[in-house]
């Protein structure tokens, strides 16, 4: 009996070991998958956030943000000063009856006079302001939240945002802003348009992640 | 040099000029219509205002190549325009003009305002006329004349 009991111990130990191995076989791969998925998700989010930072660098360039103000007027120039000639936003972001955006801005750049132009020149709505009322540029997280809020962004989903960045005439203008009145070229955003669209696509495909506060 | 067909005050006109030539200089130099004035040349004063496709426009910064078929209306046509006639009469009744250099642009902007807003408030007037400068500082009388014209218009 003693011998029998002593024989059982190794067998029991073997069974326990096998059971543990079996359990690990059942639980192990799934646990690894979850871990890998978690890592992949984190990597995807990190890539998306990196792409967003590229997008943000363009959105906050003067060629873009000068018309995404929080005030009753647009801005101009790399120093983002108030638009000259007492230009005001107006009820639809297109100025007022005798002083509209179209009073000067035509369908295309006017190289001979230095006035920029593109189809339907206008200010972005106040819901798409990327500055505060003191003209301070909002943080990456704040702009990201506004851009992804369909109550603020004209109900655009990811595909809609990508299309906007790809095709909107005023977005395209920012990458071909032509000459100023002194003949010098306006500075360009930090990315080419192709790079900007590519970064937007990566960000959208990553689920449009936004940075944490602030 | 290129040839452009324009409609100015309802009349077909044709000019052969450099595409970058501002509409102002086409009017003044090519068509000899000197009612529209050159003030600053950078759209900062409003003296060159005309109506382009119905929009008050600074003709000094619009190259003729970007007119693209839109009708041009100048101060010379205001006497025949229902709103323009009323505005000009109001200008006379309030004796607005001092040196007068900016006034064709002022009237073109006032007409554009009244065509869009028949009963403008002081704020409407200040915003719409804010891009038209007057070194004689006739602003108060201009505002009064716009109100007089507004009362005359239905």
pLDDT tens-place string over residues B72-121: 999 999 999 999 999 999 999 999 999 999 999 999 999 999 999 999 99
Q: Does residue A100 sit at the B interface (CB-CB below 8 Å)?
A: yes
C-alpha count within 13 angstroms, C-beta hemisphere, residue A61: 20
From chain A, the residues in CB contact with B129 under 8 A are: 98-99
CB atoms within 10 A of CB A207: 13
Q: Cβ of A96 and B57 within 8 Å? A: no
Quick check: is A35 in a domain? Answer: no
From chain A, the residues in CB contact with B118 under 8 A are: none
The predicted pLDDT at position A41 comes to 83
Asked if B110 contacts B118 with a C-beta cutoff of 8 angstroms, the reply is no
pLDDT tens-place string over residues A31-63: 566 777 777 788 899 999 999 999 999 999 999
Q: Of B58, B75, B92, which closes a domain?
A: B75
Q: Does residue B58 sit at the A interface (CB-CB below 8 Å)?
A: yes
- Residues B37, B101: one domain? no
pLDDT for A15 beyond 60: no
Domains in chain A, number: 1
Mean pLDDT of the A22-34 span: 50
The predicted pLDDT at position A40 comes to 73
In chain A the first and final C-alpha atoms are separated, in Å, by 73
Q: Does residue A77 sit at the B interface (CB-CB below 8 Å)?
A: no
Q: Does residue B60 sit at the A interface (CB-CB below 8 Å)?
A: yes
Asked if A96 contacts A65 with a C-beta cutoff of 8 angstroms, the reply is no
Quick check: is A15 in a domain? Answer: no
pLDDT for A23 beyond 80: no
| Residue B22, domain extent | 2-75
Mean pLDDT of the B43-71 span: 98
Listing DSSP states for A24-58 in one string gives HHHHHHHHHHHHHHHHHHHHHHHHHHHHHHHHHHH
Q: Is the ipTM of this complex over 0.85?
A: yes
In three-state secondary structure terms, B109 is helix
Averaged pLDDT score across all residues of chain A: 87
Q: Cβ of A100 and B56 within 8 Å? A: yes
- Residues B71, B89: one domain? no
- Residues B82, B68: one domain? no
Q: Cβ of B116 and A85 within 8 Å? A: no
Among A3-12, A124-133, A164-173, B8-17, name the one with the lowest average pLDDT.
Answer: A3-12
Q: Of B20, B42, B75, which closes a domain?
A: B75
Q: How far is A210 from chain B (nearest CA, A)?
A: 39
Q: Cβ of B57 and A104 within 8 Å? A: yes
The predicted pLDDT at position A30 comes to 53
- Residues B10, B71: one domain? yes
Closest A-chain CA to B23: A113
Mean pLDDT of the A15-34 span: 46
The predicted pLDDT at position A37 comes to 74
Supply the CATH number for residue B107's domain. 1.10.150.120
Secondary-structure percent of chain B, ordered helix, strand, coil, rounded to 5: 40, 15, 40
- Residues B145, B107: one domain? yes
Q: Does residue B128 sit at the A interface (CB-CB below 8 Å)?
A: yes
The predicted pLDDT at position A7 comes to 40
Q: In this complex, which of B21, B60, B112 lies closest to A98 when CB atoms are compared? A: B112
Supply the CATH number for residue B16's domain. 3.10.20.30
- Residues B68, B82: one domain? no
- Residues B81, B147: one domain? yes
pLDDT tens-place string over residues A157-201: 999 999 999 999 999 999 999 999 899 999 999 999 999 999 999
The predicted pLDDT at position A28 comes to 46
| Residue A161, domain extent | 57-214
- Residues B49, B63: one domain? yes
From chain B, the residues in CB contact with A178 under 8 A are: none
Q: In this complex, which of A85, A102, A114 lies closest to B131 when CB atoms are compared? A: A85
pLDDT tens-place string over residues B11-38: 999 999 999 999 999 999 999 999 999 9
The pTM score is 0.88
Distance CA B102, CA B44 (A): 12
- Residues B89, B145: one domain? yes
Task: Return contacts of A150-158, CB within 8 angstroms, 24+ apart.
Answer: A151/A127, A152/A127, A152/A128, A153/A127, A153/A128, A154/A125, A158/A204, A158/A208
């Amino acid at each position: 009996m003693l011998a029998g009991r002593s024989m059982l111990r190794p067998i029991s130990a073997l069974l326990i070991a096998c059971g543990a191995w079996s359990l690990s076989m059942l639980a192990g791969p799934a646990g690894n998958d979850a871990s890998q998925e978690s890592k992949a998700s984190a990597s995807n989010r990190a890539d998306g956030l990196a792409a967003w930072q590229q997008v943000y660098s363009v959105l906050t360039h003067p060629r873009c943000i000068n018309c995404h103000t929080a005030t009753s007027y647009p801005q101009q120039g790399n120093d983002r000063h108030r638009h000259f000639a007492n230009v005001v936003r107006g009820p639809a972001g297109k100025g007022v009856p005798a002083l509209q955006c179209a009073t000067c801005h035509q369908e295309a750049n006017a190289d001979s006079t230095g006035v920029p132009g593109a189809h339907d020149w206008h200010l972005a709505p106040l819901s798409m302001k990327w500055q505060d009322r003191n003209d301070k540029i909002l943080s990456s997280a704040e702009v990201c939240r506004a851009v992804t809020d369909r109550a603020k962004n004209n109900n655009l989903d990811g595909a809609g945002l990508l299309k906007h960045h790809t095709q909107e005439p005023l977005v395209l203008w920012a990458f071909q802003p032509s000459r100023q009145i002194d003949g010098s070229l306006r500075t360009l955003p930090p990315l080419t348009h192709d790079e900007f669209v590519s970064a937007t696509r990566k960000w959208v495909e990553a689920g449009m992640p936004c940075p944490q506060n602030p | 040099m290129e040839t452009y067909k324009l409609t100015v005050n309802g009349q077909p006109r044709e000019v052969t000029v450099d595409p970058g030539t501002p509409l102002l200089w086409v009017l003044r130099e090519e068509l000899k219509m000197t009612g529209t004035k050159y003030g600053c040349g950078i759209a900062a004063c409003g003296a060159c205002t005309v109506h382009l496709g119905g929009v008050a426009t600074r003709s000094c910064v619009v190259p003729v190549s970007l007119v693209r078929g839109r009708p041009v209306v100048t101060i010379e046509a205001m006497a025949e325009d229902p709103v323009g006639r009323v505005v000009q009469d109001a200008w006379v009744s309030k004796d607005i003009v001092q040196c007068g250099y900016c006034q064709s642009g002022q009237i073109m902007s006032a007409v554009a305002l009244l065509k869009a807003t028949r009963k403008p408030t002081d704020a409407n007037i200040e915003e719409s006329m804010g891009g038209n400068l007057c070194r004689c500082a006739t602003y108060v009388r201009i505002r009064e004349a716009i109100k007089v014209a507004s009362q005359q218009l239905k």
